[in-house]
Amino acid sequence: MVSVKRVAVLLFAAAMLIFGSLPALAADLAVKENKTRAGILNVTVPYISGAVGGKQVDLAVNRELFSVVNAELMDLLTEAEAQSFRNTHTTEPDLADVIRYNSELVKYADKMIAERSDSGRSSASWYARSEYEVKSAKNTFFSVVLKIRTYTGGASDKVTWKALNFDLRDGRILELKDLFEKDVDYATRLQTLIGYQQQGRIRLVRYIKGKNVADPVPVTITGQENFYVDDHYNLGLIIYSFAPKKKAEPAVTEEKPSEKADAGSKSAANEELFGTTGAETATKETQGSTSGAEAAEVENKTNPAGSEKASVPISGQNAGSVNIEVYDISLNDFADLIKL
């Protein structure tokens, strides 16, 4: 007869085997974040570990994530200030240095801006905030949207959304065309589905509000679009559309600097339909790690397209506004074209 003590030992050993094997069963990627707050700057940048391609792939991905945010921070500085920082800070060889470089840049930028305010220059209302939203985090694929909002004077702030999609086998950044088989016409199908969303929203606005809203401008897919892919096989296309300035109106009509809202405005059509310019949600994260850092995100689960107005510069066009519109498309509609 087996003793009670022996049974207890066997059960304990079995439990250790079961729970010890759980991490091996998980294919999720570890996503952490570096937060630095200095004065008017509040910067959060994600970084990963556990890519199937190994630590070198982790480092390549993390360097790219930080470089996007660092570039926006550099834009807050004068050329002389930026060059001074580069002269005293060397290229980052490992993750600890990548993180240190970003944190020191945040503090340096805040110091430079504060000195301008002390010298009487109008920079007291400036600010910068970066946040992010993880769309998918597996050890073979990572999709994230970096959202950076800055104000450096003028009628409105600048909003930049940068989606990055990584093949974690080799660290390669994927373009939209990389999702599909070579030489297949995925663009036409995407344009058709986006057109349905555009027309459906406009019809609802006209029916519910009785407003005579202008027809939307058709989207042309080039394969270079900003996009993400989530865990539910939804493809999100982030489209920047330029709205030219009307005569005798301000150059931009976006969010004023005093409105440091934690959420962006919706597109004109959504404003007409829902009667609001806010109503976004704050998220914290996913896959066992935080991923929003109190990030305000445009939700598109019920709306055919979300948008955020921004004063994102476009070459040769500086007298209008830019809308960020997000179109969610199910990749189930592309099963015959998708690259497996």
CATH of the domain at 84: 3.30.565.40
Q: What is the pLDDT of residue 121?
A: 61
Q: What is the pLDDT of residue 53?
A: 96
* 104 lies in some domain: yes
What is the Cα–Cα distance from 322 to 252, expressed in whole angstroms?
9
CA 127 to chain centre: 18
What is the Cα–Cα distance from 122 to 104, expressed in whole angstroms?
24
Q: What is the pLDDT of residue 3?
A: 60
Q: Which amino acid is at 79?
A: E
* 229 lies in some domain: yes
Q: What is the pLDDT of residue 217?
A: 87
* 339 lies in some domain: no
Q: What is the pLDDT of residue 51?
A: 97
* 4 lies in some domain: no
Distances (CA, A) of 305 to 191, 192, 254, 339: 14, 14, 18, 26
What is the Cα–Cα distance from 48 to 64, expressed in whole angstroms?
11
Residues of the chain with pLDDT under 70: 1-27, 118-124, 241-322, 340
* 18 lies in some domain: no
The span from the first CA to the last CA of the chain, in angstroms, equals: 56
The answer to whether 321 and 311 have CB atoms below 8 angstroms apart is: yes
* 109 lies in some domain: yes
Q: Which domain holds residue 107?
A: 26-334
Q: What is the pLDDT of residue 286?
A: 34
* 13 lies in some domain: no
* 122 lies in some domain: yes
Number of separate domains in the chain: 1
For residues 18, 19, 25, 29, the Cα torsion angle rounded to the nearest 10 degrees is -170
